[in-house]
Amino acid sequence: MRVLITGAAGFLGSHLCDRLLKEGHQVVGLDNFITGKRENLAHLATNEDFKFIRHDVSNYIFVPGELDAVLHFASPASPNPNSAVGYPNLPIQTMKAGALGTHNTLGVALAHNARYLLASTSEIYGDPLEHPQTESYWGNVDPIGERSVYDEAKRFAESLTMAYHRFHDVNTAIVRIFNTYGPRIHFDDGRVVPNFITQAIRGEPLTVYGDGEQTRSFCYVDDLIEGIYRLLMSEEHFPVNIGNPAETTMNEFAAVVNKLVGNQAGVKHQEWERKPGDPQRRQPDITRARELLGFEPKVSLEDGLRHTVEFLKTQIELA
């Protein structure tokens, strides 16, 4: 296949490029570097099967040559208002990437008769009133809160994707991604995994927001990419959750990180940075992914964190 990946210079996009190239496909990566990094693609500079286009997905997209698949991953992704790459600081760009970017990439898929895969998110469930979250849950989203620029753009993107499927018969897929971590994660984007690990490496107390009893379910990047690849190769059109259902509170997660890194500084409870809107519980129900794709996450939290700690140590040295 010849595949277009938007957001290619980002954390997940760059891993997707690697995986598709490894499977023998040709990849056209597209990115405007608003939150991504050139370094994430540096190792592909001499790969003849990889081409790169610097472009903003909010503007009309032209890709010369044939395309068999389009994967739309371009979007800021961190909810942290204290990070320059957090979407609260890029609100209009975030809405444009989710809305105009989805429209433009769907147009590319239609023009090329290509399979289309949208990177959606667990955020479409908002602060969920159903637990764990199944794909049939409609969500509990504040339409005007700080997180809404991301959540509502993704909800619009899902709706537009289904419209292109139903009206134009585009062969679309939607993956709802739950919290993912691993090498190439932004070390300073303010999300909990890089925050805790960099604090632990520096011997500082980990900043637990609120009482720390809120939960997340962390998936290692290799497992996520496996699930996305399987979905791409399938014929499924309806949304599929991909993530790791192992749920942990932020207090438990902080203890795991401190133990793994050997940090004696403990934790520091502090005011929520972004309450209201910070989901209290999040855990994917992955029954559909299991049944449709034979998907099962394999990497334990400890193993995944070990790889991530190694990566973040080098980032801290470079910073």
Token output for 317: 């040295």
Q: Which of 212, 200, 227, 230 is nearest to 308 (CA)?
A: 200
User: Is there binding between residue 10 and ligand NAD (CB under 6 A)?
Assistant: yes
Tell me if 52 sits within 8 A of 29, measured CB to CB: yes
Q: Which stretch binds ligand NAD (CB under 6 A): 9-17, 104-112, 137-145, 282-290?
A: 9-17
Q: Which residue has the tokens 């764990």?
A: 132
In the bound complex, what is the minimum distance in angstroms from residue 191's beta carbon to ligand NAD?
Answer: 8
Burial (CB count within 10 angstroms: exposed 0-12, middle 13-18, buried 19+), residue 106: buried
| Beta carbon nearer to ligand NAD, 149 or 263 | 149
Angle between the 91-98 and 148-168 helix axes, to the nearest 10 degrees? 10
Active-site annotation holder among 150, 164, 181, 229: 150
Per-residue binder mask for ligand NAD (CB under 6 A), 121-160, x = binder: x---------------------------------------
Site for ligand UDP in 69-128 (CB under 6 A): 79-80
Where helices occur in the chain by DSSP H, the ranges are 11-22, 91-98, 100-112, 148-168, 192-201, 221-233, 250-261, 287-293, 301-318
* Cβ burial 119-133 (10 Å sphere, 16+ → b, else e): bbbbbbbbbbeeebb
In the bound state with ligand UDP, the residue whose beta carbon lies nearer, of 79 and 88, is 79
240 binds ligand NAD (CB under 6 A): no
Q: Is 150 a catalytic residue?
A: yes
Note whether 283 binds ligand UDP by CB under 6 A. Answer: no
User: Considering the rule CB under 6 A, would residue 141 count as an interface residue with ligand UDP?
Assistant: no
Active site (catalytic) residues: 150
Residues that bind ligand UDP (CB under 6 A): 79-80, 179, 191-192, 195, 207-209, 214, 216, 250, 272, 278
Applying CB under 6 A, the residues found at the interface with ligand NAD are: 6-7, 9-13, 31-36, 56-58, 73-77, 97, 101, 119, 121, 177, 179-180, 186
